[in-house]
Structures are given as C-alpha cells and as structure tokens.
Amino acid sequence: MDASTSELPLFPELQPYRSGMLQVDARHTLYWEECGNPAGVPVLFLHGGPGGGISPRHRQFFDPAYYRIVLFDQRGAGKSTPLGEYRDNTTQLLIADIEALRAMLGIQQWLVFGGSWGATLALAYGQTHPQTCLGFILRGIFLCTCAEIDWFMYGMRWFFPEAHAAFVAAIPPEERGDLLQAYKRRLFSEDTEVSLQAARDWSRYEGSCLFLKPPPEIQQMLNDDVVALGVGRLEAHYFLHQGFMEEDQLIRDIGKIRHLPAMIVQGRYDAVCPPVSAYRLHEAWPEARLQIIADAGHAALEPGTAAALVAATEQFRLQQGFV
C-alpha cells in the first residue's frame, strides 16, 4: 500500500460522544467509548490480538448517522488497566465483559464486528449469547486451533523468513523446538526489561507480516510499546491455553448462530491467518457470505479489505442483513 492510510475508503474521522472506564473485577478495568448516533442501530467493534486495543480508525468503518458504535479495549489491552495483564484473562471472562458492557449501555441487541482475534471472540460470544446478536461482520478468520497456532509460530517463515529470523534471533537454538514455551519464559519473566524486549520481538514479528504492501507508517506501529506489551503477552497467553476453548469448538458450535446474517472478509494473501480458516468457516456456515480480497494480506487497513468492510456495514444498514 503506497498511499497513506488517511486515503482509505473510510467514513470521516469522528470523536466519541461518551466514554468511560468499567471495572469488571478487582483486577481489571476496561476503557470503552461510544460514537455516532446515540439512537442508532448498535454495533460492537471487537479488536484483534488478543491485546491489540482499539484505535480512532476503528470508528470509521460505520456510518455515524446510522450506527451507535461501541468500542472497548479488552482486558490487558490499550487504555484498559493493567496493561498486558494475563491473570484473570480468559475468553469466557471477555464474553462476560461484553455482556456487562451491553447491560451497562442498555443495549438489547447489536451487530458484532471483529477481525482476527476479534472474529474469534465474536464467534465465541455469539455462540454463547446468540439472542443478543443481530448479525456478524468477520475479517481475517482465526479459529484458534492447534494448526493455526503452529502456523503463527513456525509457518509464517515460509513467506516472511527475515521476520521469522528476527523473531527467533534472541532464542538459543536448543529452545527453538518449542518457541511458544521459549517466549513464555521471557514474556512472563520477573525481569521487566526481558519481558518488554520479548514483547517487542513478538509484536514486530506479527506486525511485519500483516500487510501485503506495508504502509509508510508501519514502523511507527511496530515501535509502540503499549501495543507490544498487550499483543506480545496476551497472544502468547491465549495461545498457551488454545484460546480457552476446545479444539475446533467454533466450527462445532456454528449451528447456534447459523440463523443470523454474516459476512466474512478475507485477504487472499493473509499470511497471519491463512484463507483456509475462512473457507472452513464458510463450509460450516454456508449461509454466511464469503468475500476473498484478491490484493490483501491480513490487516483491516488495506484498501480492498477496508472497502469491503465498509460495504458490509452499508449493506447491513440498507438491508438489515446480507442478501
């Protein structure tokens, strides 16, 4: 992507009309915000990672005149506190947090929008609480299976060998047979500098593989320690516990949400979450629409993917579903 992300086909920048901090237990407090039309159709944005956090760009996938846009930083991410905290941090607790947020905001049902881990969480949430969902817009499908986790740790080197070489550079050769455990020892070290450096290495590895054509500002994204701490520690934490789900649980339980409208957007050259997972999801959920973006990798902020996501929110607005 040669152009700046400022030239993406998104709705104009907007500011929240309300925001706050929601304490969900003795350890975690979540940042949340609302944008757009307070009387509009509610839509929930679920960020990736785990630990990636929200950004102002994420508000711009939705028509602010129509949607009541709800965004929040999941446990340990972004402006939520404590940053990078993995204790009391599970998929089931995140689902409970979403329900606490929905109840606090007085929302009965909402459209659920998520990419990468956000799509994983959207599926897990929907399968737990289908009655609260109007439908789904999902991008860069990650089903949190053992094969996908192994791909992240080892397989991406087939496409990004230099990024993978940098990822393993600080790991002694005798530990490279189990990179996830090697990173666990460092990410959760009591030595804060060791932990931060491991988080930086993890985040830069993933960040280097996100785009088909990286934008000019990618280096700034890779050097953000807030993102690194959230993503590095929490992705490893969730990988170590296989997303706190049974193997292939999201495919097994798809019948709980098959009656709801859904759009799946997937980059053809997504090296982080390869298209086979989106294809498997579509096979299990043929009623959902699958759109493969021919010139995109994993990131939401690539021109073709961003355009498809905006088109999906617009189609839902016009048809209250995907026809």
Which residues does residue 29 pair with via DSSP β-bridges, in sequence order?
23, 81
Residue-level pLDDT at 54: 97
The pLDDT value given to residue 3? 38
Q: What is the pLDDT of residue 4?
A: 46
283-288, long-range: CB < 8 A, 24+ apart:
284/251, 284/254, 285/254, 285/257, 285/258, 287/258, 287/259, 287/261, 287/262, 288/136, 288/261, 288/262, 288/263, 288/264, 288/322
The question of whether 195 is a catalytic residue gets the answer: no
CA angle 242, 102, 143 (to 5 degrees): 20
**How confident is the prediction along the chain (323 residues), in pLDDT tens digits per residue?**
233 445 789 999 999 999 999 999 999 999 999 999 999 999 999 999 999 999 999 999 999 999 999 999 999 999 999 999 999 999 999 999 999 999 999 999 999 999 999 999 999 999 999 999 999 999 999 999 999 999 999 999 999 999 999 999 999 999 999 999 999 999 999 999 999 999 999 999 999 999 999 887 776 776 788 889 899 999 999 999 999 999 999 999 999 999 999 999 999 999 999 999 999 999 999 999 999 999 999 999 999 999 999 999 999 999 875 54
In order of 22, 29, 91, 267, 323, the CA distances from 306 in angstroms are 30, 30, 27, 11, 20
| Marked catalytic residue, from 28, 58, 116, 208 | 116
Q: What is the pLDDT of residue 6?
A: 57
- Residue 322 has what pLDDT? 58
- Which of 146, 118, 148 has its CA nearest to residue 264? 118
Domains of the chain: residue spans and CATH: 5-145+244-319 (3.40.50.1820), 147-243 (no CATH)
Q: Is 224 exposed, middle or buried (0-12, 13-18, 19+ CB in 10 A)?
A: middle
pLDDT of residue 225: 86
Supply the pTM of this predicted model: 0.95
Catalytic-labelled residue, pool 195, 208, 270, 282: 270
- Share of the chain residues as helix, strand and coil, in percent rounded to the nearest 5: 45, 15, 40
Judge whether 41 and 68 are in contact, CB under 8 Å: yes
Query: Cis bond leading into 215, ω under 30°?
Result: no
Q: CA-CA distance, 38 to 25, in Å (whole number)?
A: 27
Q: Which amino acid is at 36?
A: G
Amino acid at 309: L
Burial class (CB in 10 A: 0-12, 13-18, 19+), 268: middle
CA gap 256, 249 in Å, rounded: 12
pLDDT at 5: 46
298 is catalytic: yes
State the pLDDT at residue 222: 67
Place of tokens 């409208």: 261
**Residues near 217 by beta carbon (within 8 Å), at least 6 away in sequence:** 4, 5
State the Cα–Cα distance between residues 100 and 181, nearest whole angstrom.
Answer: 33
Tell me what pLDDT residue 304 has: 97
Q: How far is CA 141 from CA 14, 193, 268, 276, 298, in A?
A: 28, 33, 12, 9, 9
196: Cβ–Cβ under 8 A, 6 or more apart, which residues? 225, 228, 229
**pLDDT score at 214:** 87
